[in-house]
Amino acid sequence: MENHSPNTPGMIQKLITSTKRYASIYSALWQNSVMRDMQFKVNFLLWIVVEFLWFSLQLIFVAVIYSHTDHIATWSKWEVVLLTGASQFIQQLFHAIFLNNIVALSEHVRTGRLDFMLLLPINSRFLISLRTVDLGSFVGALAGLFVMGYACIQLDLKPGPLQIIGFLGLSLSGIMIHYSLMFLLACISFLSVKAQGIVWGYYNLFNIARLPDSAFQGPFRMLFTFAIPMLLVSNVPVKLLANKLESPTEIGSLLFMAFACLVVSELGWNWTMKRYTSASS
């Protein structure tokens, strides 16, 4: 009897080869980004200074709020500082890897550069999403980690290895939510001449992720948890570190929303690509 089962070793080897190929491509994109940033060192340093000032203002805002109160709902001052640092860490990693690439999609469509990218023997979404890297934002992410570490000392928190791994995994899920929703909005550029305004409008919602979820009640909490899941992005990872999780369903909600947003963005990408006829038509 003939065996029609798939060639598992062959599939595994093909997957390994494909992974190595894309890792090599991404490494080349990193090298190109490093060379580009080093050509404009002053701009690179000024951007880091601006990011530090903005982050400092966020921390000053927390200090001002807590000069008038001891708690916001169930969150103490240093717990909110921990949340602010985590939000900075997640947002800056997203910024470093994805933001500039997503914002540029509209320009790629308008100028016809996307036509060239679609002809390359590589997954087009991979190239569009990861074409450049913002190295300065990694410095901002490190600043977020430093603030988190200091807040943990003030709270006498000593997260174990599983909590740290869980935090990083949940932070990755939060980054995927940001990426998926912003990429979905960027796909509007296939239907409109420019979509940067809509994309940056979503980016401004990032500040909601810095706020304790318990500060929101009723329809606003539902809106920013399930429709626009900003409150899940930073709150759930921090709750895991600070032992504030009310239920395991909070972790499940974050993971589910990350997966759902990724699927919806892929469907939106495929739908718009089927209707894209190139810039010259």
Cα separation, 77 vs 66, whole angstroms? 6
pTM (2 decimals)?
0.88
**Residue 59 burial by Cβ neighbours in a 10 Å radius (0-12, 13-18, 19+):** middle
Contact 210, 84 (CB under 8 A): yes
pLDDT tens per residue across span 182-198? 999 888 877 766 666 77
* Element at 154 (helix H, strand E): helix 135-155
The b-or-e profile of 129-164 (16+ CB within 10 A means b, else e) is bbbbbbbbbbbbbebbeebbeebbeebebebeeebe
Cα separation, 172 vs 82, whole angstroms? 17
Cα separation, 233 vs 3, whole angstroms? 47
* Element at 276 (helix H, strand E): none
Cα separation, 127 vs 129, whole angstroms? 6
Locate 14 and state its tokens: 């093909």
Residue 173: the pLDDT is 96
Q: Where are the domains of the chain?
A: 24-274
Cα separation, 238 vs 211, whole angstroms? 11
Ranked by mean pLDDT, which of 42-51, 133-142, 210-219 comes out on top? Answer: 133-142
Cα separation, 53 vs 97, whole angstroms? 21
Cα separation, 242 vs 238, whole angstroms? 6
- Does the pLDDT of residue 68 top 60, yes or no? yes
Q: Phi and psi at residue 6, in whole multiples of 5°?
A: -60, 155
pLDDT tens per residue across span 91-122? 999 999 999 999 888 888 888 888 888 888 88
